[in-house]
Structure 1
Amino acid sequence: MENSFTAVYEKLDDWYIGYVQELPGANVQERTLEEARESLREAIELILISNRELAEQQLSGKDVVREEINVKL
């Protein structure tokens, strides 16, 4: 599965602050723009994996319908 997100990077003094507009909690602070990009990719992966695991735990034993949904913006 491949998703696209909007990354925003702001230079503050000696740091790059990065966050993802569509994913609250995905934010980083690094010395270089490239480090911020890589850290933000990792943050996105970790958040999505964690959210999926939490949802799996909450749905365990419940009668649910699970399906993929595509949205084009």
Structure 2
Amino acid sequence: MNQTCTTLIQQRGDWWIGWIEEIPGVNCQEKTREELLDTLKITLLEALEFNR
């Protein structure tokens, strides 16, 4: 099953921060945009598995 989530990302200084709007607690911070997107995907999957 595919779902769509809203991902918000921002660059603040040297860091990229992001979070998933629909799932509280899924937020990450990384040095690059690409690392942030990868980390957000992993964190989202872990949150969905944990809350199953």
The normalised TM-score by structure 2 is: 0.94
Q: Which has the higher strand share?
A: 2
| In 2: Cα distance, 1:23 partner to 1:40 partner | 11
RMSD in angstroms over aligned alpha carbons?
0.6
| In 1: Cα distance, 2:29 partner to 2:3 partner | 22
Aligned residues with identical type, % of pairs: 37
The normalised TM-score by structure 1 is: 0.69
- Alignment of 1:11 with 2:36, yes or no, is no
- Alignment of 1:34 with 2:38, yes or no, is no
| In 2: Cα distance, 1:28 partner to 1:13 partner | 15
- The runs of 4+ residues in structure 1 deviating greater than 6 Å are none
